[in-house]
Structure 1
């Protein structure tokens, strides 16, 4: 395997606000040649990070989105024995070469890429608990063996591996030891303002302040089942601008109406909507007392 060339350091981009600790984590993982395991609330930009790193470093991005049915073998390759049997019954000459029935996985694609690539293994915690351990050897050695053809696939260039997790289940200690870990903290108001300004550069400051105040007040409501995320804030702002909602309409602490306009972009389950309806009812009743 060729030695990894010294990459350009990741410093964020014009379209992605990367905090100092996140930039340090990305560059540390690259220097150590270890997978970067990124955790954080849904909507905090974990998946987007891989795309931004690839763009910033000028590398191709290979994405492996994990599902509950995904097995580690799927990332290496799959042998389609059924297709070969069917072709054999039809007398197809392709059956003579078993490699015609080997489907390459995302790790194979990353290992054989003509240049160093960024490999995203997205939401690894969705798969079976054994899934991470089943990838340990391949991620350590940057190679794997194809039993059907007898070949060993080795990485031409060690990919930059970014793994995301939503903490749906605990990951094995043996896997964690081999990763560089970073938890993306939820953005503070100052960082969130910078993120919003990237997406809405012409947004008036009065609207920005009102939206952020309302957003963070909603997140702090006790008993909220799902706190709105960064991506949901951006969706909400887009709708507010389309509907030309004034800043004064966003004051969710108003006794008359605690439910923000276009709340469907922020509140994603009936329990949280009912919670705000009850709070609004109590506020109105106390106002009449």
Structure 2
């Protein structure tokens, strides 16, 4: 009588063969895809998805939990909130996408995430005017230049700027239809710009949904490092979406969406109450203020770019 009981080694080899066979069947099912790029994407996704499942030996309970998580993300998503983009943000996928699609080009300013609070048609301000429009916070005098990689000024470049107030809220998060702490300005012939804003403050990404629950489970903070947003556009140049961050901010190494680039960390110099301002502006009694300089270098390329993210 023959013993049909296989050894553990034989069983492991057979299990591995079956798993590999399944992957090859799935890959083959996409071979007739007419679009070669789509075929590449779905086949690569298949390989990496199965590799992940096999590496961690995913359980059915864990897989069902993942399905519930994605279902919850879909249920909370609407025209004002995109939980899947937020999920992309906290896994660093949004920043990886930005890095890949905005490759380094000489001394061009580095890009980072857009965030969910960009609004088209922000009011225009002239040089030296205040983009805070009464938003609460410490006044900040912001200056800089816009140049190309050869050091030539880029006159006519459009700069969009926006930020949170000192309570960590953007104007669109209030219910009174205010427009505050956002504006756009047009760079003059010499490439230099200047305006008043607010000293940036930290704020949390939306964390009352499934992504927030995930961050809680892994004991990660939802806070973003203090920053001021810039979007710079000019014909013949790659659209730049970036921030500047406050040097010394304790959140620089733990930004919830991994948006901090070392080159974007700037010195915000603090000034005591009563100190004279660069343009002679008279601030309220007891009001401190800060100043920062941010020189922007645009890479050559087509204007326009990806503006969808949720940080």
- Which has more helix, going by share of residues? 1
TM-score normalized with structure 2 length = 0.23
TM-score normalized with structure 1 length = 0.24
